[in-house]
Amino acid sequence: MRVTPETVAEEYEWVRERDDAVVALVNDVRDHLGDLFDADVDAVAAGQYREEVDAVFADGDRAVNVAALVAILRELDVADDYPGFVVDELLGRELAGTVAGTQPLRLLGEATFHVADVHAHGDPSDAAGADDLDAALAAGFQTRLPGWDWTEARSPFAVRDRE
């Protein structure tokens, strides 16, 4: 595989146009996590998702990595699937973390990938990595997007911000 600026632009368009599938999965995951943690989590709209896709791909260093992972997962298929289970999980988790950002959001994106993966059900005729791709995008973007109260408040652990 060769990744060029044109490849990144193509993958950007593909990810941006997945808003219907990804946003629905984001909201399913947020509902599930909200129930698990007894938290009210705001739903995400398609416009918010597309704006965040724009932000991720505006960072060229992040964009090239996201584009490469997306391209691999779009094509990844392994005979008899099980041997590929590990690689598509690994790539999906990495994509979710890369989209989510720096720590601690990166780790939360990676962990959320596994929750999203349980909720993602691709078409059986799709490549093995297809449902992991949607799960990774949902996990990464839901982590970046506002809606979790704890991400909107100042951390009580910030030493310099104490009054």
pLDDT in tens, 45-73: 999 999 999 999 999 999 999 999 999 99
Residue 158 in any domain: the answer is no
Burial class (CB in 10 A: 0-12, 13-18, 19+), 155: exposed
In a domain, 137, yes or no: yes
Helices (H), 103-144: 105-119, 130-144
| Number of compact structural domains in the chain | 1
Domain that includes residue 89, residue range: 5-147
Tell me, yes or no, whether 117 lies in a domain: yes
Number of CB atoms found within 10 A of residue 79's CB: 8
Evaluate whether residue 108 is within a structural domain: yes
Q: Is residue 39 part of a domain?
A: yes
Residue 128 has pLDDT above 90, yes or no: no
Task: Say if 47 falls within a structural domain.
Answer: yes
pTM of structure: 0.90
Exposure of 130 in the CB half-sphere (CA atoms within 13 A): 12
Residue 33 belongs to a domain: yes
**Phi, psi at residue 91, to the nearest 5°?**
-70, -40
90 backbone φψ class: left, alpha, beta (φ>0; ψ -120 to 50): alpha
Is 159 inside any structural domain? no
pLDDT of amino acid 121: 67
